[in-house]
Amino acid sequence: MAVSSGEGKTAGQEDPVRRESARQRAGEQGLLFDEQPSALPDDIGYRGPTACSAAGITYRQLDYWARTALVEPTIRAAHGSGSQRLYSFRDILVLKVVKRLLDTGVSLQQIRTAVQHLRDRGVGDLAQITLMSDGVSVYECTSADEVIDLLQGGQGVFGIALGRVWREVEGSLAELPGERAAVEDTVPADHPADELAQRRRARRIG
């Protein structure tokens, strides 16, 4: 499964009543890119329990996803007994998206592909994406028209507006403890596309 543009699912564009109904559904679900998230705090990390609380997952899920490289901490990985993982804001955003996709029946294999796609995106782009799924495939929508086309094409399609998830995570973390990343904190080498990781590496080198 590849995350693809919603354009391939267009159906019934000639039916204005159906299209207006889809537009109304999209508006009610907050899928039409009306969020304006603030900038990411790129030097603050969050420990496992905090990440779990903000993403709405169990520590067992967090640990399993880290060990299987589904969602790994990009600020600090665990190094032996007693060390603490540190997750970035972006990591927690992805954790929450994974949880929502799982809750709607999308397979872990499909989610893994979707997560890789999100990793390849710049940080700023994430807030302008709505992920849509029919439970079989995951589609990326970057315009209101794509969202509406998917909604009018199938009753079983649901959406996740990343801008809205961003706001939810931001609100949760405002009440939870974070800590500044130390100089010795290392970013896993297998996250070369993570913009935050690149910026941290550049600051240390420069």
Q: What percent of the chain has pLDDT over 90?
A: 23
pLDDT at 41: 65
Helical ranges in the chain per DSSP H: 16-28, 48-55, 59-67, 89-103, 108-119, 123-126, 144-153, 162-173, 195-205
pLDDT at 12: 44
Mean pLDDT of 148-168: 81
Judged against a pLDDT cut of 70, whether residue 104 lies above it is answered with yes
**Burial track 128-139 (b if 16+ CB lie within 10 A, e otherwise):** bbbbbbbeebbb
Q: Are 23 and 12 in contact (CB under 8 A)?
A: no
Judged against a pLDDT cut of 50, whether residue 205 lies above it is answered with no
Bridge-based pairing state of the strands 158-161 and 138-141: unpaired
Mean pLDDT of 2-13: 47
Residue of 42 and 185 predicted with greater confidence: 42
Mean pLDDT of 111-131: 82
Is 205 exposed, middle or buried, given 0-12, 13-18 or 19+ CB atoms closer than 10 A? exposed
Count of other CB atoms within 10 angstroms of residue 182: 12
pTM for the structure as a whole: 0.73
Q: How far apart are CA 50 and CA 139, in angstroms?
A: 29
pLDDT, the chain, mean: 76
Looking at beta carbons, which pairs linking 10-13 to residues 24 or more positions away fall under 8 Å? 10/149, 10/153, 11/149, 11/152, 11/153, 11/154, 12/152, 12/153, 13/149, 13/152
Q: How far apart are CA 200 and CA 202, in angstroms?
A: 5
Judged against a pLDDT cut of 80, whether residue 168 lies above it is answered with yes
80-98: pLDDT as tens digits: 666 688 999 999 999 999 9
Report the interhelical angle of 162-173 vs 89-103 (nearest 10°).
Answer: 120
Minimal CA–CA distance to 137: which of 115, 164, 114?
A: 114
